[in-house]
Structure formats: C-alpha cells, structure tokens
Amino acid sequence: MAEDRATMDETAASEPPYLRSAPPLARFVFRGDAMGEAKAGEAFGLGFPEAINRAASKGERGKPGGRVALRLGPDELLLIAPVSEGQAVFAAIGTACTDIPHALVDISDRHLGFVLEGPDGADVLNAGCPLDLSLPAFPVGMATRTLFHKAEIVLWRMEPRLFRIEVGRSFAPYLEASLRIAMNEAR
Amino acid sequence: MLLIHCPYCNMKRPETEFRNAGAAHIARPLDPATTSDAEWAAFLYLRDNPKGIIAERWRHAHGCGRFFNAIRNTVSDDFVTTYKAGEAPPETEAFASEVAPGSREANATGKQAETAL
C-alpha cells in the first residue's frame, strides 16, 4: 500500500481528477433503535457502523453481495446494495424487523451517485464544500451529509483519493456541471 | 465562515449546514384546555429579543438532521456552547464574564426561564 501511494505521488502532477457516474444501485434509508439496527444489520448481511458519520462496506459495490451502510445521523442509515438484490434486501430487513418499530424507505430513484477520483479530489470538492477534507480531519471511511454549493450531497471518502458522492437526482446536472468547472480550474 | 459545533456529530461544521429554529426551552403548557388565550398567545408568540446571550434551537439540517440547543451571543454571533436537545442549559453564570457587558440582563432572563421549567 505504501508503495502504491509513492507511485501515486510521482504521477500526481500529471494526473487530473476525473468524474464518473456510479452504476444504478438500490438504496434504502433505515431508521430504528439499537435492537432494530442489530436485526436489520443481520438481515442486510453487514453490521452497521457504530459511530456517526462513518461507513461500513463489504464486497465490491454494485456487484452481487456488495453492501454499504453509511451512518448519516444518530439513528439514520443509508444502505446501498446492487439493483438485482434490492427487493430481496428490502424484504429481508422488513421481515427481520416485523415486531420492532422502524422505518425502511426505498430511495433508489431519489439519488444518483458520482465517483470523483484523483489527487486533487479534495481541492475540487472544496470549491463548493466548506468541510475540512484533509486526511486527518476527513479520514478514509468517513461519510457525511453536507452541501456542495446549493446541493445537498452525501460525501464518502472510500480511499485517500477516491470520493463517492450521492446527490438528489434533480440536483445531479447542477452538481456535475459545478464539479466539472472546479476540475477545470484545478487542472 | 462560521463553524458551529454539532453535539451529535461531535465536530465543528460550516454554518451553511445549519438552520436556526428560534428560542430554546419554551415549555408547552401541559393542559392547553385550561390555558387562557393570553397564556397560549404568550407561549406561541412572545419571545425575548435579548442583546447578548440567548439560548436557541438549531438544526443540523444538511448534516445529521438533529435539533440541538446553542448558547449564542446575538451581538458578536459567537457560539458560547452547544448541547443536545433535552439536556439542561449549562450554568449561564460561568460564561457571563466572557461575553459582552450588557448581556447581564439577558443572562438573568435566561435564569428565569430555567427555573420556570
């Protein structure tokens, strides 16, 4: 890993950040108490992250078995699974939490995902997002809801130079255009 | 940019993520049926507008989504402290000396509200 980073540093100057759309995914918001979270986590196939603004993931995103859970609030979780398994996941969590008060909402069509990769990714995001995105302040595995200019986004640092962005679908063209302007300026 | 400490996220976040939600620690009358119109109107509409220290509700709208309370100085816009919803306001005397003179009155008002609850 250390070697990888060294190689990345050498190419940093010539490597511009690039932006691509994430594949279609099934997304859910789960809210419930500790017991509900435990049962839902079991049904989801991935224990939910304990700390607020942290992410847990397993498998390859978008591929069968890929699971992501982001804790966006004290009792709010954003769950991401492949489209093909979305209905099964929804049903499984619903069944597991039958007797426990909870809310499970399918928001697959509400969000679109983007992936921003490159050494200047944090700088590009800082064009519209006032959070401190340095590695000590925003480490790998941190995920939070925040603002990019006027658009509310969910920002997740998957790797030091790889950010995952979730945005409301109607804000997606605005976000993409704003990011591309920032990328041109960072170049 | 002003940074506001969110007691739920436990970190300082940019002010644009937050929304003000008015004065804090306004207790709803327990039995509205026996509350007079004047008392009800006072509960709904009458608020202090202090120059100095005020306890307010804020919401981390573009973050964790939670309401919390903040002690803020309306003169300097300085956030003295923030604390979770449902928690008692911190001792107002402790930070009275740190804030602008003239806030003593507001401070006393804060005290009354506290004892009223």
Per-residue pLDDT tens for B42-67? Answer: 999 999 999 999 999 999 999 999 99
Kindly tell me if the per-residue pLDDT of A6 is higher than 50. no
**Shortest distance, CA B42 to any CA of chain A (angstroms):** 34
Angle between helices A34-44 and A83-96 (to 10 degrees): 140
CATH code given to domain A25-106: 3.30.70.1520
Specify the pLDDT at position B116.
Answer: 42
Nearest residue on chain B to A73, alpha-carbon basis? B64
- Angle at CA of residue A54, ends A53 and A56, nearest 5°: 150
Kindly tell me if the per-residue pLDDT of A10 is higher than 90. no
Contacts of A134 in chain B (CB under 8 A): none
Compare CB distances from A76 to B9, B13, B65 and report the shortest one's residue: B65
Tell if the CB–CB gap between B9 and A144 is shorter than 8 Å. Answer: yes
Prediction pTM value: 0.82
- The CATH 3.30.70.1520 portion of chain A extends over 25-106
Compare CB distances from B64 to A72, A130, A147 and report the shortest one's residue: A72
Q: What is the CATH number of the domain that holds B72?
A: 3.30.2270.10
Q: Report d(CA A117, CA A15) in Å as an integer.
A: 10
Please give the tally of structural domains in chain B: 1
Contacts of A53 in chain B (CB under 8 A): 9, 11, 64
Kindly tell me if the per-residue pLDDT of A62 is higher than 80. no
What are the tens digits of pLDDT across the range A141-181? Answer: 999 999 999 999 999 999 999 999 999 999 999 999 999 99
Residues 6+ apart with CB under 8 A from A167: A111, A112, A113, A114, A148, A151, A152, A153, A154, A175
Best mean pLDDT range from A15-19, A108-112, A183-187, B90-94: A108-112
Q: Token digits for B25?
A: 């620690």
What are the tens digits of pLDDT across the range B66-97? Answer: 999 999 999 999 999 999 999 988 876 545 54
Tell if the CB–CB gap between A74 and B8 is shorter than 8 Å. Answer: yes
- A116 exposure class (CB count in 10 Å sphere: 0-12, 13-18, 19+): buried
Q: What's the mean pLDDT in A57-73?
A: 88
Specify the pLDDT at position A186.
Answer: 79
Specify the pLDDT at position A61.
Answer: 73
The DSSP call for residue A46 is S
Q: Bridge-partner residues for A159, per DSSP?
A: A162
Given CATH 3.40.50.1100, say whether it is the number of domain A17-21+110-186.
no
What are the tens digits of pLDDT across the range A90-130? Answer: 999 999 999 999 999 999 999 999 999 988 899 999 999 99
Tell if the CB–CB gap between B63 and A131 is shorter than 8 Å. Answer: no
Residues 6+ apart with CB under 8 A from A173: none
Tell if the CB–CB gap between A145 and B66 is shorter than 8 Å. Answer: no
Specify the pLDDT at position B100.
Answer: 44
Q: What is the dihedral of CA B72, B73, B74, B77, to 10 degrees?
A: -80
ipTM score above 0.90: no
Contacts of A52 in chain B (CB under 8 A): 8-10, 64
Kindly tell me if the per-residue pLDDT of B115 is higher than 80. no
Q: Report d(CA B112, CA B117) in Å as an integer.
A: 9
Which SS3 state, helix, strand or coil, does residue A64 take?
A: coil
Range of the domain at B45: 3-116
Q: What's the mean pLDDT in A7-31?
A: 75
- The CATH 3.30.1360.120 portion of chain A extends over 17-21+110-186
